[in-house]
Amino acid sequence: SLIEFGTIMNLTKGKKPKNQFGEYKAGLMPYVDIKAFETGRIESYTDGEKCLPCKEGDILIVCDGSRSGLVGKALNGYVGSTLAKISAEGLTQDYLYYFLQGQYALLNTKKKGTGTPHLNPELLRKQLIYVPSIEMQQRIVFRIEELFSELDKGVETLQTIKGQLAVYQQTVLKNIFENIVDTTRLDTVAFMIDPQPSHRTPPEAVDGISYIGIGDIDYAANRIDFASSRKVSPDVLKEHLLRYTLHDGDFVMGKIGTIGNPFRVVLPQDYALSANVILIQPNKQVIDPNYLFWQFCSPYITEQLSKGSVATSQPAFGIKKARALSIRICPMESQAKIVEEIESRLSVCDSIEKTVDTALAQAEAMRQSILKKAFEGELCK
């Protein structure tokens, strides 16, 4: 039979430590914050005063921030203030872990709070769960892992195909642009704009306009994630509009942290561009915007960006260096033919990639279906 999960759930929120240290010292234990939780990298330690201890294998769940609802297994230490330790009477750790994995989509999309999003524990309490004997729980976990292993093999094959498509794209672009002999500086064929010359990120503003950087771009879906982007005052956009206007064919490149990664801007211009990008506006009198964009996607440009980035705390490539980038140039009519050839060859890749992405989405849906059946008592009868 199914019962409400809240009737057996125990959830205890982690606490910010009174004493926290950046380096390990005798007697200290890891402070399991969100980074340690996700990556296993420990960046701080504590003596545990006023903290919630956890041991290896305990189940932790993210309570605050964009990853709310994400579940994982603890290591020996103390639970971070944005996490909670969760257990359930009568459930093995592995059975609980997979149950919570199956709830992530629901918990992450129905968070509470207007500022920093938070986990809604009441939503979790109301979920129904099948609670069989310990022996049956172990059988169900074994079957889940068996099916997941088969899915993982398929996903690995699909990811390999995507990697091969990316290599093919780079090969096509390299072969085309390396056969063009004449070169010129980027600033002779395009206008470059630093969208936020002060490099100071504007303060957040509730119900403001989107402030878009490279991190807000979903390259796989070829779109900008406006919903999750930082929101700033509309006055920021007014100030930006005094300095630049976006046009069809313009694109941005990352200049801090992520270098390059060109992306075509979208219209209308109802958002502001962040300080971590350079706006590139091709001069359509001398260069085809698509020709320039594809060149920015090619090894010819990415190699220049890689060599010219300054690696301090994070790589950087300023606008002065961008202006001096070497661009391979040819007559406009030749540019149009080159763009046609590139897009003809890569359209096949796009078609295959869409098929692969559909299969990957189906694999994830199958994973969720397996979990749903498991905790409704339908997987092992």
Higher local confidence (pLDDT), 210 or 65: 210
Task: Give the model's pLDDT for residue 35.
Answer: 82
pLDDT digits (tens, 9 = 90+) for 84-104: 999 999 999 999 999 999 999
∠ CA 328-298-304, rounded to 5°: 70
The 10 Å Cβ neighbour count of residue 75 is: 18
- Where does the pLDDT of residue 323 fall: very low under 50, low under 70, confident under 90, or very high at 90 and above? very high
Q: Per residue in 13-59, pLDDT tens?
A: 999 988 888 888 888 999 998 888 788 888 889 998 889 999 999 99
Residue 312 has pLDDT above 60, yes or no: no
Task: Specify which of 33-47, 286-300, 303-317 reaches the highest per-range mean pLDDT.
Answer: 286-300
Q: How confident is the model at residue 381 (pLDDT cuts 50, 70, 90)?
A: low
Q: What are phi and psi of 344, to 5 degrees?
A: -65, -45
The tens digit of pLDDT for each residue in 167-215 reads 999 999 999 999 999 999 999 999 999 998 888 889 999 889 999 999 9
Given a cut of 60, whether residue 325 has pLDDT beyond it is yes
**What pLDDT score was predicted for residue 114?**
62
Average pLDDT of the chain to the nearest whole number: 92
Q: Which of 40, 74, 31 is nearest to 55 (CA)?
A: 74
Task: Find the mean pLDDT for residues 137-162.
Answer: 95
